[in-house]
């Protein structure tokens, strides 16, 4: 890897750069309307006394060019924690330099060093460049699993049933 690339943990003061990268990722994924995180949301989530997630940043010749946001989950089958990659993004004009691969290599090292049994993430079905890239790393899709999500009114409705019990 080139010496002009630095992968480093995010630190307080990076919130604005992280938010901008999240917004660019959301734009790429055609989900910009869903990206409502503020710098304060990120400050609380990433740098509080008990962080919800972590970020590593990629800098190419001093310019912030990509990030990976991750957190720990737990595998009951393995009896060990895992590392869940929520988002990985490299700005378009920096792609093809090995930055995405370097971010994933660093995440794999973090997972290994923390004793994680696995590393998981999702990719949009239409994102064939990313899918092809993940295959080159030895990652395999879990085709027998379907992701479900509760948000907004559906989440509130289900939660309110617990309140009435």
| C-alpha–C-alpha distance, residues 82 and 137, integer Å | 18
Rounded Cα gap, residues 107 and 71, in angstroms: 11
Catalytic residue among 23, 134, 145, 156: 134
CA distances, 17 to each of 10, 44, 64, 106, 158 (Å): 10, 15, 7, 20, 36
The H or E element containing residue 43 is helix 39-47
Q: Is 134 a catalytic residue?
A: yes
Catalytic residue IDs: 134
């Amino acid at each position: 890897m080139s010496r002009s690339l630095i992968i480093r943990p995010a630190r307080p003061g990076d919130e604005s750069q992280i938010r901008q990268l999240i917004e660019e990722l959301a734009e790429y994924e055609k989900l910009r309307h869903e990206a409502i995180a503020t710098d304060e949301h990120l400050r609380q989530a990433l740098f509080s006394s008990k962080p919800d997630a972590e970020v590593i940043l990629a800098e190419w010749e001093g310019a912030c060019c990509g990030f990976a946001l991750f957190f720990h989950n737990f595998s009951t089958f393995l009896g060990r924690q895992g590392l869940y990659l929520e988002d990985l993004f490299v700005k378009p004009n920096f792609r093809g330099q090995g930055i995405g691969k370097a971010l994933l290599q660093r995440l794999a090292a973090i997972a290994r060093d923390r004793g994680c049994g696995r590393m998981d993430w999702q990719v949009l079905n239409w994102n064939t460049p990313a899918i092809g890239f993940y295959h080159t790393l030895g990652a395999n899709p879990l085709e027998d699993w379907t992701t479900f999500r509760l948000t907004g009114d559906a989440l509130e409705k289900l939660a309110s049933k617990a309140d009435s019990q």
